[in-house]
Structure 1
Amino acid sequence: MMETEVAGLSLDQVLLVPSESNVLPNAVSLATNLSADVQEALPVIGAPAMTDLGMAQAFAANGALAVLPAGGTQLQYVQAMVADDEVTLVGVEVLNEVDAFETAVMLHAAGAKLIDFVLDDNLDQAIDTLRLLAQQVPPLTIMAGPVADAETAHRLFETGIDLVKVAPLPGQPVYTVTTTMAVAEVASEFDAGVVLGAGIRYSGDIVKALAAGAVAVMVDTDIIGDTPADDLFQIAGGLRSGMGYTGSATIDDLRLNAQFVQITAAGLAESHPHDVELTKSAPNYAKQ
């Protein structure tokens, strides 16, 4: 993959600037479009590494989507979820292998709404497969990643896919805020979207990622625990609070209104709750 030197800022190096707001948290809409055909009620996607059938069902029940990992049970799980409700949001991981096109077609026919296509060193092969999928298998929503630079993102969007997932590669780190901004700018040329696939530990991180231009973020066990319904509820509350803090009633408003300010590590620590006696710890909140 193309390498580029990037200098920029990550989620823990910025805060959102508050603004005058008449937006109450309960009036905020958290809906986001992953594509023309797939809308989520909550802008989060469950990472394959943590997703089993139960986790995928929990996400779907809360209006979101989790990606089932590649493997022998994947088709069975897709069929089980669609049998419950044919409009259930189901995502599946597809590896960049010689039979990737056939695998994606089979899973889409079974009911998968989104393909999370995993890139590797063979980018040319991946681009050929993605172009074929985008052209021949509508209305399949296609996300590809990890991507760490805008140049690679541009090549991928040229295939006609819907989403690029921003995440680090070996030897090529991602500055989560700056890289998301750069890739989102490219995505706007193609009427496509960006998913931030790394660095999410708190609901405030999700607000920052959306403000930087992401349509959604990929979450894992850093923020989702053994009670995903409770964790998604807490994430939704944090998002509503953060968006109201910036005067943003929708995610589109957030992208237009938000302003970042750079902070130090000490400033980050100060921004977290402190000097407060907690009677019960939040299920997915811990200073890290």
Structure 2
Amino acid sequence: MVSQNGLGLDEVLLVPSASDVLPNTIDITTQIADQVTLSIPVIGSANYTTVSRAIEFAHEGTLAILPSSLASAENVAEIKAAGNENLAGAVVENVSDAGELVQAGVDILQLVVNDELVQNIKAIKSANESLPLWVGPTTDLAVAEQALVAGVDTIVVANVDNTPLTAPVTTVMAFAELAAKYDGNVILGSDVKYSGDVVKALAAGAVAVMVDEDIITDVIADNIFQISGGLRSGMGYTGSGDVPTLRRQAQFVQITAAGLTESHPHDVELTKNAPNYHQR
């Protein structure tokens, strides 16, 4: 397990860097698999996703992960039918759940951690070698390494019970370092409350983050628009023209609680509330 004596998203700021990139020229796409690129590195978490929400995420050029209770061929087909290029993902608990989803056109499978994890990974990959396979949620480095050795592509870092991580920045760093040894990726699966958290998670080594009602309110498209603006702003602040550059060169500095308050908007009069910021 990762040490709990690490850094949270609220305990760090990104170090500014000389920048010649303008926010509107920054590329915020992220490649999460050889043949899967997202328009924004933000994914709907399984604990938040419904079929309608998955369609909304897909319309924004990204995807949401159907929970196992909704992971059916019919629901994947409905997401695909709503748009020719729509991406669909689903949680599966064992090999027998995977076949029909693949036939329906699912783009991503997220496999839950259980006693048959390694066997399930090998079985799914042997039948669908090019299909991106994720494992999670997990915070166990040993489990993650077993999965990566078995052939999984991405580790979703989060607590199984959906409780917040104690040290998400440090945890993502540790998992990203491990995943890199096996050409794998890491996704932060929880704890994202602000667009700045997205920037920090990517800087720590994640290729994307998962979001839920902690940051998504009202119309998903409006929230994605706000997040993309915050992401571009943060990337420009570090001189990063694209997500790989941010992951490669960004640096953190630890801050105090007072510093956190200063880092958020204060002493200003808002003319219009942001869709997901006014309640913080």
TM-score normalized by structure 1? 0.91
Quote how far apart the aligned CAs of 1:135 are.
2.5
Partner SS, residue 206 of structure 2: coil
Find the counterpart in structure 1 of residue 267 from structure 2: 275
Q: Deviations over 1:37-90 (max 9, x none)?
A: 211111011012221222111111111110112225733221112223443210
Deviation at 1:10, TM superposition (A): 1.1
1:26 aligns with 2:24: yes
Deviation at 1:287, TM superposition (A): 5.9
Cα distance change, pair 284–126 in 1 and its aligned pair in 2 (3 A)? same
Which residue in 2 is equivalent to 1:43? 41
Which segments of 5 or more consecutive residues in structure 2 lack a partner in the other structure?
Answer: none
Match of 2:184, as an amino acid? A
CA contact (8 A) 1:86 1:111 kept: no
Amino acid at match of 1:66: A
Q: Which amino acid aligns with 1:246?
A: T
Q: Secondary structure at the match of 1:50?
A: coil
Deviation at 1:203, TM superposition (A): 0.5
> Cα deviations across residues 152-204 of structure 1 (Å, max 9, x unaligned)?
22111111111101112569954111110111011111111000011100000
Residue 118 of structure 1: how far off its partner (Å) = 2.1
Provide structure 1 residue ranges, at least 5 long, that are not aligned to the other structure.
none
Are residues 1:150 and 2:148 paired?
A: no
Amino acid at match of 1:29: D
- What residue is the counterpart of 1:82 in the other structure? 80
CA drift of 1:227 comes to 0.2
Greater mean alpha carbon deviation, residues 140-149 or residues 225-234: 140-149
1:64-79 matched pairs, under 5 angstroms = 64-71=62-69, 74-79=72-77
Q: Which amino acid is the alignment partner of residue 23 of structure 1?
A: V
- SS in structure 1 at match of 2:47: helix
- Which of 8, 13, 24 is residue 15 of structure 1 equivalent to? 13
CA displacement at 1:137 relative to structure 2: 1.2
Cα contact 1:193–1:215 (8 A) shared by 2: yes
Match of 2:117 in 1: 126
2:35 is matched by which residue type in structure 1?
D
* In structure 1, C-alpha distance between the alignment counterparts of 2:110 and 2:258, rounded to whole Å: 37
Residues 150 and 174 (structure 1), Cα distance of their counterparts in 2 relative to 1, 3 Å cut: farther
Aligned residue number for residue 189 of structure 1: 181
Code of the residue aligned with 2:254 in structure 1: it is Q
Among candidates 240, 245, 248, match of residue 253 of structure 1: 245
The whole-number CA distance in structure 2 between the counterparts of 1:116 and 1:224 is 21
Contact kept in structure 2, 1:67 and 1:90, CA below 8 Å: yes
- CA separation in 2, counterparts of 1:11 and 1:192? 23
For 2:111, the equivalent position in structure 1 comes to 117
d(CA) in 1 for partners of 2:155 and 2:70? 26
Q: Structure 1 residues 23, 13: closer, same or farther in 2, change over 3 A?
A: same
Does 45-54 or 199-208 show the bigger shift?
A: 45-54
Query: 1:150 touches 1:183 (CA, 8 Å); kept in 2?
Result: yes
Does 1:167 find its partner at 2:123?
no
Task: Name the CA distance, whole Å, in 2 between partners of 1:72 and 1:23.
Answer: 42
Which stretch of structure 1 is more off in the superposition, 21-30 or 63-72? Answer: 63-72
CA distance in 1, matches of 2:80, 2:164: 38
Instruction: Spell out, residue by residue over 1:217-270, the C-alpha distance to the aligned partner (whole angstroms, 9 max, x if none).
Output: 000011111200000011111100100010000111101221100011221111
SS of the equivalent of 2:64 reads strand
Runs of 4+ residues deviating >6 angstroms: none
Q: Residue type of the partner of 2:126?
A: Q
Alpha-carbon separation, structure 2, partners of 1:116 and 1:5: 25
Which of 217, 220, 223 is equivalent to 2:215?
223
Query: Deviations for 1:18-43, whole angstroms, at most 9, x for unmatched residues?
Result: 11100100111011111112111110
Backbone CA RMSD of aligned residues = 1.8
- SS state at 2:106 partner: coil
Letter in 1 for 2:272: K
Structure 2: distance between partners of 1:209 and 1:258? 11
Pick the aligned partner of 1:93 from 87, 91, 94: 91
Whether 1:179 aligns to 2:176 is no
Pick one of 98, 101, 113 that aligns with 1:104.
98
Change in CA separation of 1:49 and 1:20 when aligned onto 2, cut-off 3 Å: same
TM-score by length of 2: 0.94
